[in-house]
């Protein structure tokens, strides 16, 4: 089956020093960049990246966030926090990413499948047009946007696998429950230490 790689939200605000930092984010940015370099050897038909791109996401931004549905201001369109992390950005600049899908301009939009490329093409349509049937999902964070993207991949009719060596979770409890969600939905999981310590 034809496989694609989806890199989820490897952005400054989700790494150390950002407004919603995930411990280990910078390390994962480096690991994902290395994975992208190896993409041809892993038989990926294409490699895409998603990016939070908030303009006015409403209640998703909050001064009193619950860190489930609402968060501090992050990944605002045109600001440094929304840019790809420096460890990953060269992979994008070098042309090794086939397309970038922007999500969340006016909503929370955790899933990459809610995003569209610069031409307005939704991720699922873009992948199908290239014959992709299976996707590997990596990035930040396992228990938030990676979770939503992988689950939506299955809903959209793709076979999905999350590569834990190239993903990082926020918290042990939510990551553990995410792995159970994956099991129930038929999302495969490969490698890594499943739950952050």
Instruction: Give the catalytic positions in this structure.
Output: 9, 103, 145
Contact yes or no for 28/139 (Cβ under 8 A): yes
The neighbour count for residue 42, using CB atoms within 10 Å, is 12
The 10 Å Cβ neighbour count of residue 61 is: 16
Q: What are 122's strand-pairing partners? A: 116
Cα 86 to its chain centre, rounded Å, is 16
Q: Give the long-range contacts of residues 77-83, CB within 8 A, separation 24 or more.
A: 77/53, 77/105, 80/12, 81/11, 81/12, 81/13, 81/18, 81/19, 82/11, 82/12, 82/13, 82/51, 82/52, 82/53, 82/54, 83/11, 83/12
């Amino acid at each position: 089956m034809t496989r694609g790689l989806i890199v989820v939200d490897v952005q400054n605000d989700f790494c150390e020093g950002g407004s919603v930092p995930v411990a280990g984010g910078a390390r994962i940015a480096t690991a994902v960049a290395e994975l992208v370099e190896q993409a041809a050897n892993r038989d990926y038909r294409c490699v895409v990246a998603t990016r939070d791109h908030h303009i006015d996401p409403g209640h998703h931004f909050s001064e009193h966030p619950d860190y489930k549905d609402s968060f501090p201001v992050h990944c605002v369109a045109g600001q440094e926090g929304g840019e790809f992390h420096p460890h990953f950005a060269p992979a994008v600049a070098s042309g090794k990413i086939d397309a970038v899908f922007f999500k969340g301009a006016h909503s929370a939009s955790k899933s990459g499948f809610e995003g569209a490329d610069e031409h307005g093409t939704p991720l699922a349509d873009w992948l199908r047009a290239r014959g992709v049937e299976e996707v590997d999902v990596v990035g930040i964070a396992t228990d938030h946007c990676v979770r939503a993207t992988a689950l939506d991949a299955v809903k959209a009719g793709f076979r999905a696998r999350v590569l834990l060596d190239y993903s990082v979770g926020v918290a042990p409890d939510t990551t553990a429950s995410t792995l159970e969600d994956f099991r129930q939905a038929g999302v495969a999981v490969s490698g890594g230490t499943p739950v952050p310590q």
